[in-house]
Amino acid sequence: MNLLEGLNEPQRAAVTLPPEHALILAGAGSGKTRVLTTRIAWLIATGQASPQQFLAVTFTNKAAKEMLTRLAAMLPINVKGMWIGTFHGLCNRLLRLHHRDAGLPQLFQILDSADQLAAVKRLLKSLNVDDEKYPPRELCWFINAQKEAGLRPAAVEAWDDWTKKRVELYEAYEAQCQKEGVVDFAELLLRCYELLERNEPLRRHYQERFRHILVDEFQDTNRLQYRWLKLLAGAHNALFCVGDDDQSIYAFRGAEVGNMRDFEREFGVRHLIRLEQNYRSHGNILEAANAIIKNNPARLGKHLWTAAGAGEPIRVFEASSDLDEARFIVEETQALLAEGCARREIALLYRSNAQSRALEHALFSAGIPYRVYGGLRFFERAEIKHALAYLRLIANPDDDTAFARVVNFPARGIGARTLEQLADAAKALGSSLFAAIPRVAGAGGAKLAAFAQLIGKLKEAAQLPLPELVDHMLELSGLREHYRNEKEGQERLANLDELVNAAANFLAEEGVANAEGELSADLIAFLAHAALEAGEHLAGEGEDALQLMTVHAAKGLEFDVVFICGLEEGLFPHENALLEDKGLEEERRLMYVAVTRARRRLYLTHAQARQLHGQTRYALPSRFIDEIPTGLLKFLTARPGRSAYGAVSPAPSFAASRPQIGFSIGQTVKHAKFGLGVIVQAEGSGSDARVQVNFGSAGMKWLALSVAKLEPA
């Protein structure tokens, strides 16, 4: 009963459900992590399950670690061996255990997105494919999309020559990865799914083991992840899914919000519990979020509330320009700091990264420290990638992506011609680049042989404890010496030293026992950790600096004060989304997420004119502001279409001053190319007059009236 203390009634109901399928609709700030963790602890404490019978899936390594830490504090059990992690982390663990059945080498390596891009570029070059017609990054997206749909090349439908060629390249990419013993992120899940699907004894083993499957952030699962969960659940296991369809904002990554309804229908879910009490935000903020999201159809439905009181009204500011908007935000921030608010508790959220320029300039000029969330993470920095590439070659010399990164870094005189000869030799042999080194003659071949000897020496040191191995590699490879001689290499050297610390910390937390004479199992595990973790931390976390980030990046975070900037039609909601099926619904969910990041005070700002991508944009205020009840808002400037006192004023019209034109805002017009549209904004006069027209499927267009042949419809 101690485990249940402090839970509200719906939380307690969710935690103590019988071992059946359940869907928990957990609103923002409603304590879902506590419910998930307590559910596991309660089932163990009441003797209904053992720690080995759980499989818990989170969407970040940070969330998985938090669950394990909380469980260890709740129960006197060793949580280290529990299967709690991300989809990719759990699939990596399962594939390591059954690598032969999965058709993988024991020491397979994981390609992160940058490594995958490098591998695709090498593939295109080796096949003499025009990378302008088939851009490497787009090919990566195509391959990953097929894998996330569960499709191998033979199953992909190709209706034209261009798609057929992409399918051929997908097939060649698969062959290259198999030869090199590497897998990308999408492959981890697909390979694991295929293994369980075709291997019935193995599937039955895990179905019998994992009697309780818990899933966090269920609204963010894609179709393949949902199929993987169904495969493991079988006919008798209990799926406990926690999510919020109102916070599904990753459709561009393949997230399928429809999985929640499919789960409810396909599994005959009898238990649907709504967690609606919010422990984060004041009432006015929650009422604004509720008012916005209720405009989305086909929701499972819930209404957030709090016992914390209404709090302050939501402040709305209309700026004349993005520079004026930034000036206002700086002035408000300075006032907040003077009141004692910590900088790290203030967040500036925006829809597009391009918006940060004006904000950063204003903050820098005012001397206010800030951090842009989403800068290069630790394991993604160039010097760390170089170091990891050497470690990957110790584990697997046939890893061509790692080989290509460091064969001539630091520079050792191995030129492009030598590498072309090596690639030709590898192709003729059907081998890796490393294995083909003896086939290259001359001075270039001698330099390649010296590199092979270096890798051999590093491999001999693989029995050292992991931190010592990393330190030894940094010296012997020449990486440290290279950055010592670089003009601004001190920060990179500090990062390399931090890699040794990271290895030591990993060894302390995750170290595994090695059989004598074997390649360090710690090294293999550390490389997988580096690829999967990729530095999942908030840039500037723990530092007293203002936080700047996109709304997508803000998911899961919370702050005392939040500014949502650039609330204009065409920007938020984004003009691209307005042209997509259900695009507006996703934008509204994004706005809901942005609003619910605020605990105490919320600002909504928009500008009449904004510099973006080298052009001045003019726009109307976002429809999301209009969806919030006026009683919740405090307008710091005159509301568009209203006086400063809130009385409705006539809709603006420029026809009166220029009667020869005869158009007004709100009027339907016809254009020869774009069809029917509605005038939403206007500026200028005489020959400089222009209007912004919403042409529906053709999008928003600014048209010069002296040129465009607009006709009243």
Question: Do 232 and 206 contact (CB within 8 A), yes or no?
Answer: yes
Please tell me the distance from the alpha carbon of residue 58 to that of residue 37, in angstroms, as a whole number: 12
Residue 500 CB: number of other CB atoms within 10 A? 19
pLDDT confidence tier of residue 222, bands split at 50, 70 and 90 = very high
Instruction: Tell me: pLDDT of 295 over 50.
Output: yes
Instruction: Tell me: pLDDT of 538 over 50.
Output: no
Query: In this predicted model, what pLDDT tens digit does every residue of 60-94 receive, in sequence order?
Result: 888 899 999 999 999 988 888 899 999 999 999 99
Transcribe 393-442 into DSSP letters: HHH-TT-HHHHHHHTTSS--S--HHHHHHHHHHHHHHTS-TGGGGGG--H
Q: Is 53 a catalytic residue?
A: no
User: How far, in Å, are 107, 121, 352, 692 from residue 181 at the CA level?
Assistant: 8, 18, 38, 55
Q: Is 217 a catalytic residue?
A: yes
Contacts by residues 128-134 (CB-CB < 8 Å, ≥ 24 positions apart) = 129/169, 134/165, 134/166, 134/169
Q: What pLDDT score does 458 carry?
A: 93
Please tell me the distance from the alpha carbon of residue 577 to that of residue 575, in angstroms, as a whole number: 5
Helix (H) or strand (E) run with residue 646 in it: none
Instruction: Tell me: pLDDT of 173 over 50.
Output: yes
Say which residue, 552 or 667, is predicted with more confidence.
552
Instruction: Tell me: pLDDT of 556 over 60.
Output: yes
Mean pLDDT for 226-253 is 91
Q: Is 688 a catalytic residue?
A: no
Question: Do 249 and 595 contact (CB within 8 A), yes or no?
Answer: no
Q: What pLDDT score does 152 carry?
A: 96
Say which residue, 393 or 646, is predicted with more confidence.
393
Please tell me the distance from the alpha carbon of residue 693 to that of residue 512, in angstroms, as a whole number: 64
Q: What pLDDT score does 449 carry?
A: 95
Helix (H) or strand (E) run with residue 276 in it: none
Instruction: Tell me: pLDDT of 691 over 90.
Output: no
Catalytic residue among 11, 58, 225, 247: 247
Strand ordering across the sheet containing 700-704: 700-704, 690-694, 675-683, 668-671, 711-712
Q: Please, what is the angle between helix 161-180 and helix 113-126, to 10°?
A: 110
Q: Is 468 a catalytic residue?
A: no
Lowest mean pLDDT among 342-351, 380-389, 694-703: 694-703
pLDDT confidence tier of residue 541, bands split at 50, 70 and 90 = very low
Say which residue, 309 or 113, is predicted with more confidence.
309
Please tell me the distance from the alpha carbon of residue 638 to that of residue 647, in angstroms, as a whole number: 10
pLDDT confidence tier of residue 658, bands split at 50, 70 and 90 = very low
Say which residue, 700 or 67, is predicted with more confidence.
67
pLDDT confidence tier of residue 249, bands split at 50, 70 and 90 = confident
Catalytic residue among 32, 344, 492, 617: 32
Instruction: Tell me: pLDDT of 645 over 50.
Output: no
pLDDT confidence tier of residue 685, bands split at 50, 70 and 90 = low
Helices (H) and strands (E) in the chain, counts: 26, 21
Please tell me the distance from the alpha carbon of residue 17 to that of residue 155, in angstroms, as a whole number: 41
Average pLDDT value over all residues in the chain = 87
Instruction: Tell me: pLDDT of 661 over 60.
Output: no
Please tell me the distance from the alpha carbon of residue 178 to that of residue 430, in angstroms, as a whole number: 12
Question: Do 281 and 35 contact (CB within 8 A), yes or no?
Answer: no
Please tell me the distance from the alpha carbon of residue 488 to that of residue 593, in angstroms, as a whole number: 40
Name the pTM for this structure.
Answer: 0.76
Helix (H) or strand (E) run with residue 511 in it: none
Query: In this predicted model, what pLDDT tens digit does every residue of 315-366 receive, in sequence order?
Result: 999 999 888 999 999 999 999 999 999 999 999 999 987 788 788 888 988 9
User: For residue 621, what are the β-bridge partners?
Assistant: 568
CA angle 460, 466, 471 (to 5 degrees): 80
Catalytic residue among 180, 216, 522, 585: 216
For the chain, the residue count is 713
Instruction: Tell me: pLDDT of 511 over 90.
Output: no
Token representation of residue 334: 């300075």
Instruction: Tell me: pLDDT of 534 over 60.
Output: no
Q: What pLDDT score does 532 carry?
A: 77
Please tell me the distance from the alpha carbon of residue 272 to that of residue 244, in angstroms, as a whole number: 12
- pLDDT above 90: percentage of residues in the chain: 60
Catalytic residue among 166, 351, 597, 610: 597
Q: What pLDDT score does 660 carry?
A: 38
Q: Is 299 a catalytic residue?
A: no
Token representation of residue 184: 């990308």
User: How far, in Å, are 284, 638, 680, 696, 713 from residue 653 at the CA level?
Assistant: 34, 17, 10, 22, 18
Q: How far is CA 382 from the centre of its chain?
A: 20
Please tell me the distance from the alpha carbon of residue 689 to that of residue 593, in angstroms, as a whole number: 38
Instruction: Tell me: pLDDT of 456 over 90.
Output: yes
* DSSP 8-state code for residue 17: -
Helix (H) or strand (E) run with residue 455 in it: helix 442-460
Instruction: Tell me: pLDDT of 280 over 90.
Output: yes
Q: What pLDDT score does 536 carry?
A: 42
Mean pLDDT for 366-391 is 83
Which is it for strands 54-58 and 212-215: parallel, antiparallel or unpaired? parallel
Lowest mean pLDDT among 485-489, 562-566, 648-652: 648-652
Q: Is 457 a catalytic residue?
A: no
Instruction: Tell me: pLDDT of 489 over 80.
Output: no
pLDDT confidence tier of residue 695, bands split at 50, 70 and 90 = confident
- pLDDT above 70: percentage of residues in the chain: 90
Catalytic residue among 12, 16, 33, 121: 33
Instruction: Tell me: pLDDT of 484 over 90.
Output: no
Please tell me the distance from the alpha carbon of residue 292 to that of residue 628, in angstroms, as a whole number: 6
Q: What pLDDT score does 68 carry?
A: 92
Q: What pLDDT score does 708 carry?
A: 77
- Of the candidates 201, 179, 236, 191, which has an alpha carbon nearest to the alpha carbon of residue 19? 236
Q: What pLDDT score does 377 carry?
A: 61
